[in-house]
Chain A
Amino acid sequence: MATKSLKARHNGLAEKNEQLKILNGGIFEEGELPYFKDKIALTGHYPLRPKKLEVFQINLGYMCNQVCEHCHVDAGPDRKEIMTRETMQYCLDVIRNTGAHTLDLTGGAPEMNPDFRWFVEEAAKAGIQDFIVRSNLTIIRANKKYHDLPEFFKRHNVHVVSSMPHYTRGKTDKQRGDGVFDKSIKALQELNAVGYGLPDSELKLDLVYNPSGAFLPGDQVAMEKDFKKALKEDFDIQFHNLFAITNLPISRFLDYLIASDNYEDYMYALVEAYNPSAVENVMCTNTISVSWDGWLYDCDFNQMLELKVDSKIKHIKDYNEDILNDRDIIISQHCYGCTAGAGSSCQGTVA
């Protein structure tokens, strides 16, 4: 299990150009598999264009207390990229005026940003309909200063979305690190204790499932049933929805695919599972992603590949929703991850 990010290990795949070279070359360049652009052109979806903005997603920084094998952010304790209060201020100006109904904070572990609580307090005042914080759960148990996070989330009516790759210890720890399962279970119990995730509770607690390996997620509804049954029976834990998210072939997951000789099979599986109706609702068509340093992207994955939006508005300080919405979305072969099977987004399936 890695304890450092690709960046800290000076791994070539920490560089976006190296990743894009792989995604644009090999089996795609040789014509064995079609480029994403050509595939979506068959159903008249090229160029991919935004619809109404619904989700404003902010990445508060790449620092994390975990070093998960599949992390597309290449997050970890050694990543120092953290959003400053000045950039948060720009974000708040946008949040107060945006047409988006959902505000989605992610990371890294967003809670590790020293201005996290201030930012949540300010953002909550804007009265956005759905205010999501993506929490890795273990952060709640990582240090005393985070123990009251469930209460803090409750106070600001935050919708908690947490990663949980499996309801068994073995699979969870293999992907996310030793001890992660037990800490996650404890954190979920604490969230339940303050009212999160209970059947009629307005305090929303959803879980995110990522496959722990080179395979696609199964049926989201069936997985949710299995998770609910196992977590209730074994640990008396309840939650609302399970989002099944496909691992996209970038960053650490791409490194894993190549090292385990699974890259080609995985790309074949993604392309074979291509679903044109998932393209209709792919998340880049209703989302704007903001990086820790204020740049704007079509999604969190494009952010990690440093593919900034194709618009004259590229930074949060110049934000203009109308101009920004009139753009072509930047795509590459990693996008097949969002259109496979029932589709995949930060909110789970889309088709």
Chain B
Amino acid sequence: MAKSYYDPADLRKFGKITEWSEELGTKFFDYYGKVFEEGALSAREKSLIALAVAHVVKCPYCIDAYTKDGLQKGITKEEMMEAVHAGAAIESGATLVHGVQMMNKYDKLSM
């Protein structure tokens, strides 16, 4: 058993989750594969969305995977960083928009 919570080599073993629940694992990977196919959005656009979300949910495996995927798709580092900022802006916006709730509550409680 590893002494740390995250081991980069574990990413290679992701597929093994199917071994302990074949039906759900298979359904998940089928769905996952389908999602990232070329559709109304290009596979390239989806890769950038995935990279932004990977940062927002702070998944180190996903960050490794979608940085590599971006490189494979010829996505530039400028595009990747802008995607990360888009994610970060939504995340900080989500915090700040709660400031309105704070303001509302403050006003309600104050004379």
- Residues of chain B touching chain A, judged by Cβ–Cβ distance below 8 Å, are 12, 38, 42-44, 68, 71-74, 76
- Across the interface, do B12 and A168 meet the contact criterion of CB distance under 8 Å? no
Q: How far is the CA of A227 from the CA of B74 in the complex (A)?
A: 9
Q: Which residue of B lies closest to A230 (CB)?
A: B74
A219 within 8 A of B: yes
User: How does the 8 Å CB contact mask read for A152-170 relative to B, with 1 for contact and 0 for none?
Assistant: 0000000000000011101
Asked if A77 is at the interface (CB within 8 A of a chain B CB), the reply is: no
CB distance from A28 to the nearest CB of B (A): 16
Taking the closest CB of chain A, its distance from the CB of B13, in whole angstroms, is: 11
The residue that A215 contacts in the complex, of B12, B38, B72, with Cβ under 8 A, is B72
Interface contact B74-A268, CB-CB below 8 Å: no
Chain B residues, Cβ within 8 Å of A215? 68, 71-72
Residues of B within 8 A of A222 (CB): 38, 42-44, 73
A219 touches which one: B12, B43, B68, B76 (CB < 8 A)? B43
How many of chain A's residues have a CB under 8 angstroms from any CB in B?
Answer: 19
Query: Per-residue CB proximity of A207-247 to B under 8 Å, as 1/0?
Result: 00101010111110011001100000000000000000000
A272 close to B (CB within 8 Å): yes
Contact indicator B76/A171 (Cβ below 8 Å): yes
| Chain B residues in 8 Å Cβ range of A226 | 44, 74
Determine the residue in chain B with the shortest Cβ distance to A209.
Answer: B74
Chain A CB within 10 A, most for which of B38, B42, B44: B44
- The 25 sampled A-B contact pairs (Cβ below 8 Å) are A166-B74, A167-B74, A170-B76, A171-B76, A209-B74, A211-B71, A211-B72, A213-B71, A215-B71, A215-B72, A216-B72, A217-B72, A218-B72, A218-B73, A218-B74, A219-B43, A219-B73, A222-B43, A222-B44, A222-B73, A223-B73, A226-B74, A227-B74, A268-B12, A272-B12
> Which residue of chain B has the shortest Cβ distance to A216 in the bound complex?
B72
Taken together as a complex, chains A and B put the C-alpha atoms of A255 and B38 apart, in Å, by: 35
CB neighbours of A170 from chain B (8 A): 76
Bound-state CA distance A348–B71 (Å) is 18
B75–chain A nearest beta-carbon distance, Å: 9
3 shortest interchain CB distances as A-B pairs:
A218-B72, A218-B73, A215-B71
Task: Report the bound CA distance from A202 to B73 in whole Å.
Answer: 30
In the complex, the chain B residue whose C-beta lies closest to that of A167 is B74
CB contacts (< 8 Å) of B43 on chain A: these are 219, 222
Chain A residue nearest to B42 (CB atoms) is A222
Question: Which partner residue on chain A sits nearest B67 by CB separation?
Answer: A215
In the bound assembly, the distance between CA atoms of A170 and B42 in angstroms comes to 24
Q: Which of A170-186 contact B (CB under 8 A)?
A: 170-171
A166 to B71, CA, bound (A): 11
Q: Which residues of B contact A272 (CB under 8 A)?
A: 12
Given contacts A215-B71, A217-B72, A223-B74, 12 further A-B contacts (CB under 8 A): A167-B74, A170-B76, A209-B74, A211-B71, A211-B72, A215-B68, A215-B72, A218-B73, A219-B43, A222-B43, A223-B73, A227-B74
Cα-based distance from A213 to B43 in the complex (angstroms): 21
CB distance from B51 to the nearest CB of A (A): 14
Q: Which residue of B lies closest to A166 (CB)?
A: B74
Distance A287 CA – B19 CA, assembled complex (angstroms) = 42
Return chain B residues, CB-CB under 8 Å to A217: 72
